[in-house]
Amino acid sequence: MSNTPTPHIGAKKGEIAPFVIMAGDPLRAQFMAEHYLENPVLFNKVRGMLGYTGTYKGKKVSVMGHGMGIPSIAIYTYELYNFYDVKTIVRIGSAGAYHKDLKIGDLVLAMGACTDSNYGAQYDLPGTFCPIADFGLLQKAVASCEAFGYRYMVGNVLSSDFFYSDRPTKDQWMKMGVLAVEMEASALYMNAARSGNRALALFTVSDHILTGEVTTAEQRQTTFTRMMDVALSLL
């Protein structure tokens, strides 16, 4: 009995490329498909989580939303890695800056993803697992940022379960050198590790925790294109 379509992805085997670029907002995935891909074909609209497959400079690639938070990205990436033979997932998203030298629009390449989530407890490990990016992808992303002339930083991010919290913890993470906060990368990295595949998360700074600067929802959806350029250069 085939595992596809899955409960959350309506595609059949072969309709999704081995290389998938994912965004939390499905409308960002749609924007990317319509503005970057040649001949994009919709493969998923279950729960409104849009996914498209097309080509970029002749190479097959899929783009898809993954929703907000670790439980959401964990479901979608698990199914992609384990049921659709996806080998590489690159997450593009927005992040709140912790580091004083980051500016709105800068890119953050997540070498590692700290977390306050309990997602890793399922593996019953005798210690703390450190979710990290695939080095080859990270290395290529750095080279791409240099070639494009994009401002970027590489380091740890925080994948937090909390957007609103009764117990703010930014100071504790900042003193450990964490660059920015987002909500999904650590689960992506853990799913990649467990399935023996590759992952990288890269972000555009959408707001700054220290300065209070923010961007609009429309800006986040349609103008954060530098991370798209970098993600596509990894094909």
- What does the alpha-carbon distance between residue 7 and residue 9 come to, in Å, rounded to a whole number? 6
Find, among 3, 36, 7, the residue nearest to 21 by Cα.
36
Structure tokens at 138: 């990270």
How much is the pLDDT for 117? 97
pTM of the full structure: 0.95
How much is the pLDDT for 67? 97
Contact present, 89 and 81 (Cβ < 8 Å): yes
- What is the per-residue pLDDT across 112-170, written as a single tens digit (0 to 9) for each? 999 999 999 999 999 999 999 999 999 999 999 999 999 999 999 999 999 998 887 88
Contact present, 11 and 43 (Cβ < 8 Å): yes
Residues in the chain: 235
Structure tokens at 5: 């379509």
Find, among 211, 212, 207, 209, the residue nearest to 224 by Cα.
207
**Beta-bridge partner residues of 95:** 205
How much is the pLDDT for 170? 87
- What does the alpha-carbon distance between residue 41 and residue 25 come to, in Å, rounded to a whole number? 18
Q: Check residue 16 and report its DSSP letter.
A: S
In what helix (H) or strand (E) does residue 93 lie, and over which residues does it extend?
strand 88-97
How much is the pLDDT for 167? 84
CATH 3.40.50.1580 given to domain 19-233: yes
* Coil/strand/helix, residue 50: coil
Residues serving a catalytic function are: 207
Contact present, 119 and 194 (Cβ < 8 Å): no
Kindly provide the b/e burial profile for residues 27-39, where b requires at least 16 CB atoms within 10 angstroms of the residue's own CB. bbbbbbbeebbee
Q: pLDDT under 70 in the chain at which residues?
A: 1, 221-223
How much is the pLDDT for 1? 41
- What does the alpha-carbon distance between residue 233 and residue 66 come to, in Å, rounded to a whole number? 21
Contact present, 224 and 93 (Cβ < 8 Å): no
Find, among 154, 210, 205, the residue nearest to 178 by Cα.
154
- What does the alpha-carbon distance between residue 101 and residue 83 come to, in Å, rounded to a whole number? 41
Question: In the chain, where are the structural domains located?
Answer: 19-233
How much is the pLDDT for 78? 98
Structure tokens at 149: 């002339």
